[in-house]
Amino acid sequence: MSTAAITEHRDPFGAKFGMWLFLFTEMILFGGIFLLYAVYRSTFAADFHFAAGTLNRLIGGLNTLILLTSSLTMVLSIATLERGRRRASGWFLLATIVLGLAFLVIKGFEWTAKIHHGIFPGSEEVLDHTAGENIFYGLYYAMTGLHALHVIVGLAILAIMWVGLVRAPRRRRRLPIPPGGGATLSSPGGQTLWSQPPGDDAEAIEIALVYADDAADREARAVKLENAGLYWHLVDVIWIFLFPLLYLVS
Amino acid sequence: MGVEADFYHTPGRPGILGWIFSTDHKRIGLLYLFTMLAFFAVAVGIGLLMRLELIAPGQTVISPTIYNSLFTLHGVIMIFLFVIPGIPAIFGNFMLPLQIGARDVSFPRINLLSWWCFVIGALIAITSLFTGGGPPDTGWTFYVPYSIRTSTNVTLAVFGAFILGFSSILTGLNFVSTIHRLRAPGMKWFRMPLFVWSIYATAWIQILATPVLGITLLLVMLERMFNLGLFDPARGGDPLLYQHLFWIYSHPAVYIMILPAMGVVSEIIPTFSRKTIFGYKAIAFSSLTIAFVGYLVWGHHMYTSGMSDTARWLFSFLTFLVAIPSGVKVFNWVATMYKGSIQFSAPLLFTFTFVFLFSIGGLTGLMQSALAVNIHVHDTYFIVGHFHYVMFGGTAFGLFAAILYWFPKMFGRSYRMKPVWIAWALLFAGFNLLYFPMLVLGWMGMPRRYYDYVPRFHTPHLISTIGSWILVAGLIVFVVHMIRSARRGPPVGANPWGGTTLEWSVPSPPPHENFETIPRVTTGPYDFERASET
Amino acid sequence: MSDKPAISYGRYLTIWLALLVLTAVTITAVGIQFGRWSVFAAIAIAAVKGTLVLFYFMHLRYEGALIRITLSLAVLTLAVIMVLTFADVSFR
């Protein structure tokens, strides 16, 4: 009789390290377009100066405050979860999501206003402006657009986290059974939880365990939430740099 | 019964579903092997067609516009679907966990996602052949402004490449994490096999360089769709900035291509010299050095594009530096063999061929890094000859060597030497007949990516085309024999070559979980003295 | 996580307040028209804000050598790329 242990490969540090590696790729992705910005700014300093002045500093500042606060609610969501306060954690996570949506809505208004004034990629209006201003607006749309895309992805991730957070903890495993073989499910202490006599032609058993909150499960959720938080904070950090470069260089 | 079935017979989903949804690193490695072989075959076919067109001046079999699309496709498929994924995707996946004594990589599901990104990216790129304005005709480098203005289907092809970038990034991320976190007890950093070191260095390049390609391709798509003007001189843009962004990735990419092949060589030479590697630390550090310095030299693709003089001499100087660590490796390989007990074998044959062909390629590269030479040979066939010597003679022959070396482990069977010798002879003769004339042609002044040429270039082109036929014959013999042997070759045991690294301590093919018990490592990877005592 | 000290709620709030203050400072400083120094100041303040988020919200202050060194590697890569590109752009 062969026994298969359900060995769950748990490596919280490895998961965190993997997320940091992914964040490096995001930093370099944005780094490429920041490089373009830097080069064009050195070429068209005066034009950038002027064009940046047409952006609304207060709205940009408001968006900055929104994202900074969403980072706060994010860490509070993680901190409360680590202290066992799952419901509070859920509320803070929801607040993060709402703030992120607010950011997108305000951005949407900003873009709409600009488009109404005829300032959008490829418009006639922009062609009338100087080359430097055209580049500035092109970069403005590309950089904030790429950032907004990442905000949307971040919100999707946070939404999935929220669903996983508020649901009762459960684990699901699918184990194949050798043909013609039987299967017995035992607890680590040796107690038989379930068994199937040999001869049945089932191919696999699927085990779904629903159980109460425990430290191991809390830690597993905290790890996932922390990693999601790392992504969200990076989105915030990128905006922290975008804001002065686009709105405050005049 | 305590004998566990090999990984081909792991119970689970039936048939092909059990493979394309498998998170087993060994199956994923083989999936990459099969899909890459298919793409390689297509790209080889395109190359044959190109050579057929070039057999004589004037139009031979295809029109000029189709020719432009052909060399674009040949480059895109070979580079993004074959050489860059290459050895890391196949052998990194299959061998890395085994060599470090792990049961799988850190993130097996992300590993599967990598393969799916690979397939989906490829399918999207292939779709660009048949939709819109037809296949792109910009060259695989997609230089602006032509790539923005051409009506061919650049956007879709570039999007496919973007998805392929994800595949590369996720693989690199997985491997770095795996090497840091899953080494067996006792396997300190300096007890890892050198193949693992090369995969480690490669994985870092995949993580830190590929995103630059991502933003570059994204900007091309945005330009084509929304006319931002970021690379359009008429609207203030600088086309040279595109080249900078493009080569900031694409130069480190060539080190993604070559480092794993060098890692394979560092495995094969000790095994068939029955002697530990000479200068283990030097070779390990040379991989990291190549990876690092590789970021500093991209401008050498742009000497004639309009960069400042300062940039040009700076990049030229830095490019000379990057040849040094490669030299360190070659010297150490040779020193390893000195006073070793050489066992001639198929892997060793292809390894020697690698060293020979890569040296020619590397030296011609060194020639090009000199500004004065580069002015004359840039965008000529000299460059084409150079990069085929390093990418084909180097990486691809390294891949063949890896296949021949790890074949028994992956398939549990052996192959025969005679067909391999025949394949090798055809490959070697065909390769040099195909590519050496290109070095001559370039030196004589023949530009690359040209569909037609003046009569004085005819003879080298003719030789080159004939070489292509011989080379392809060799490829066919090689692939056919490998496939037949994989299915029907005589079964073989765990360690037919007498290797000392951990993958040879498990059955051939390995079971699903690799090791019955995770080994405890007490020596370096190439301890042949101890191996001969047991 | 069991291996790192739990950061208090108060600490998080303090950092958040600091970030808000710095944002306000940066907006008003730029309005004061120090000329080109305004821009440098704005970017410098952004760097401080980014560092605060990195160190405290992303726990970098409490992480070990591996994450710090690899992060430095990524930042170094970006710096190298920028410097070498400007070797071209600035000297044309």
Residue B204 near chain C (CB below 8 Å): yes
Chains contacting B (3+ CB pairs below 8 angstroms): A, C
* Cis before B509 (ω within 30): yes
pLDDT tens for each residue of A176-228: 666 666 677 777 677 787 777 766 666 677 776 665 566 777 787 889 999 99
Give whole-number Cα distances, A119 to A51, A110, A111, A133, A149, in Å.
11, 11, 9, 10, 20
DSSP state of A120: S
Pairing of strands A192-196, A183-186: antiparallel
Distance CA(B166)–CA(B175), nearest Å, equals 14
Q: Which residues contact C78 (CB under 8 A, 6 or more apart)?
A: A27, A28, A31, A35
Superfamily holding A12-180+202-247: Cytochrome c oxidase, subunit III, four-helix bundle (1.20.120.80)
Per-residue pLDDT for A6 more than 60? no
Q: Give the count of domains, chain B.
A: 1
CA-nearest of A241, A211, A97, A76 to A162 is A97
What residue ranges do the domains of chain A occupy? 12-180+202-247
CB contact under 8 A, B295 and C92: no
**Tens of pLDDT along B432-483?**
999 999 999 999 999 999 999 999 999 999 999 999 999 999 999 999 999 9
Q: Is residue B66 part of a domain?
A: yes
Mean pLDDT across the stretch B282-310?
95
**Residue pairs spanning A and C at CB distance below 8 A:** 112
Dump pLDDT digits (tens) for B238-253: 999 999 999 999 999 9
Q: Under a CB-based contact definition with an 8 Å cutoff, are residues B467 and B427 in contact? A: no
Chain C residues within 8 angstroms (CB to CB) of chain A: 1-2, 6-7, 9, 12-13, 16, 19-20, 23, 26-27, 30, 38-39, 42-43, 45-46, 49-50, 53-54, 56-59, 66-67, 70-71, 73-75, 77-78, 81-82, 85-86, 89-90
**What is the pTM for the complete model shown?**
0.93
Q: Where are the alpha helices (DSSP H) in chain A?
A: 12-43, 45-53, 57-82, 86-116, 124-128, 131-166, 215-247
Maximum separation of any 2 CA atoms in chain C, in Å: 55
Mean pLDDT check: name the lowest of A115-129, A211-225, B314-328, B430-444.
Answer: A211-225
Give the list of residues 6+ apart from residue B426 with CB closer than 8 angstroms, or none.
Answer: B470, B471, B473, B474, B477
Give the confidence band of B485 by pLDDT, cuts at 50, 70, 90.
very high
pLDDT for A186: 74
CB contact under 8 A, A28 and B106: no
**Alpha carbon distance B137, A162 (integer Å):** 47
Which chain A residue has the Cα nearest residue B211?
A29
Residue range B68-96: average pLDDT?
Answer: 96
Q: Do residues B268 and B307 touch, judged by C-beta distance below 8 A?
A: no
> Region C42-55: what's the mean pLDDT?
92
Q: Closest to C87 (Cβ–Cβ): which among B204, B248, B314?
A: B314
In this prediction, residue C4 has a pLDDT band, given cuts at 50, 70 and 90, of low
pLDDT at A192: 81
Residue tagged 């061998």 (tokens) = B95
Q: Which residue of B has its CA nearest to A24?
A: B208
pLDDT value at B270 more than 60: yes
State pLDDT tens for residues B115-167. Answer: 999 999 999 988 988 888 889 999 999 999 999 999 999 999 999 999 999 99
Tell me whether strands A183-186 and A204-210 are parallel, antiparallel or unpaired.
unpaired
pLDDT, tens only, C29-43? 777 666 667 777 888
Most B CBs within 10 Å, among C66, C88, C91, to test the B interface = C88
The pLDDT of residue C30: 74
What pLDDT sits at residue B228?
Answer: 87
Q: Examine residue B1 and state whether it is found in any structural domain, yes or no.
A: no
What pLDDT was estimated at residue C37?
Answer: 72
- Looking at residue C43, its pLDDT comes to 85
Percent of chain B with pLDDT over 70: 99
Each residue's pLDDT tens digit, B21-31:
999 999 999 99
pLDDT value of residue B328 = 95
Percent of chain B surpassing pLDDT 90 = 91
Query: What is the pLDDT at residue A218?
Result: 75
pLDDT tens figures, A155-181: 999 999 998 887 766 667 777 666 666
State the complex-level ipTM.
Answer: 0.94
Q: Which of C51, C47, C77 is nearest to A28 (CA)?
A: C77
Residue A128 has pLDDT above 90, yes or no: no
Chain segment B195-235, per-residue pLDDT in tens: 999 999 999 999 999 999 999 999 999 999 988 889 988 88
Question: Residue B108 belongs to a domain with what CATH number?
Answer: 1.20.210.10
Distance CA C27, CA A57 (A): 8
Give which of C63, C69, C80, C84 to mutate to test B binding, by max B Cβ within 10 Å.
C84
Distance CA A147, CA B357 (A): 46
Q: In this predicted structure, what is the pLDDT of residue A169?
A: 66
Domain that holds residue B445: 9-533
Give the one of C27, C45, C67 whose C-beta lies nearest to A61's C-beta: C27
Measure the CA–CA gap between B74 and B45, rounded to whole angstroms: 9
Can you give the pLDDT at residue A222?
Answer: 87
Peptide bond into B11 cis (omega under 30): no
Neighbours of chain A (3+ CB pairs under 8 A): B, C
Whole-number pLDDT of residue A1: 45
Put simply, the answer to whether B310 touches C88 (Cβ < 8 Å) is yes
C54 CB burial (10 A radius; 0-12, 13-18, 19+): middle
Q: Which residues of A touch C45 (CB under 8 A)?
A: 244
* CB-based contact A38:A186 (threshold 8 Å): no
**In the prediction, which pLDDT does C2 show?**
45
